[in-house]
C-alpha cells in the first residue's frame, strides 16, 4: 500500500463544507463503527469482522484514510472466505486504532 496515511484533499472534498455539529455526529458514528470492528477482531468473530470491515471500507475511504480502507476490504474478503490471518488482523487492529486516535483529536 503506497498511498499516504491520510489524504487531506479527500477529506476536504467530502467534509470541508460541513458544520461542526454535523461533522461531530458523523465522527461519533464512525468511531463507534470502528470500535465494533475492533471488538470482532479481538473476539475472532469472522462474521462480525466481515460485517464491520465492510462499513469501515466506506468510512475510512470517505474520510481519506485510504490505506485503512484498502486493508479493511482485504480483511472483509478474507473473513468471508474464512481465511483471515493473524497478521492481517493485527495490521488492521493497529491501523484502525490509529484512525480512532486521529478522529478523536
Give the whole-angstrom CA distance, residue 96 versus residue 16: 22
What pLDDT does residue 105 have?
78
Task: Give, for 56, the enclosing helix (H) or strand (E).
Answer: helix 46-63
Cβ neighbourhood burial of 81 (10 Å; 0-12, 13-18, 19+): exposed
Q: pTM score, two decimals?
A: 0.84
The per-residue pLDDT for range 74-95, each reduced to its tens digit, is 999 999 999 999 999 999 999 9
> Which residues of the chain, if any, have pLDDT below 50?
1-3
**Which candidate, 96, 95, 94, 72, places its Cα nearest to that of 84?**
72
CB 78 within 8 A of CB 85: yes
Amino acid at each position: 500500500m503506497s498511498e499516504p496515511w491520510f489524504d487531506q484533499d479527500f477529506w476536504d472534498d467530502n467534509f470541508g463544507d460541513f458544520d461542526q455539529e454535523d461533522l461531530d455526529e458523523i465522527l461519533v458514528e464512525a468511531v463507534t463503527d470502528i470500535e465494533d470492528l475492533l471488538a470482532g477482531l479481538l473476539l475472532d468473530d469472522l462474521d462480525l469482522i466481515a460485517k464491520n470491515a465492510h462499513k469501515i471500507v466506506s468510512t475510512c475511504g470517505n474520510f481519506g484514510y485510504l490505506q485503512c480502507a484498502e486493508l479493511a476490504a482485504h480483511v472483509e474478503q478474507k473473513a468471508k472466505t474464512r481465511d483471515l490471518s493473524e497478521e492481517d488482523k493485527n495490521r488492521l487492529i493497529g491501523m484502525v486504532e490509529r484512525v480512532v486516535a486521529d478522529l478523536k483529536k
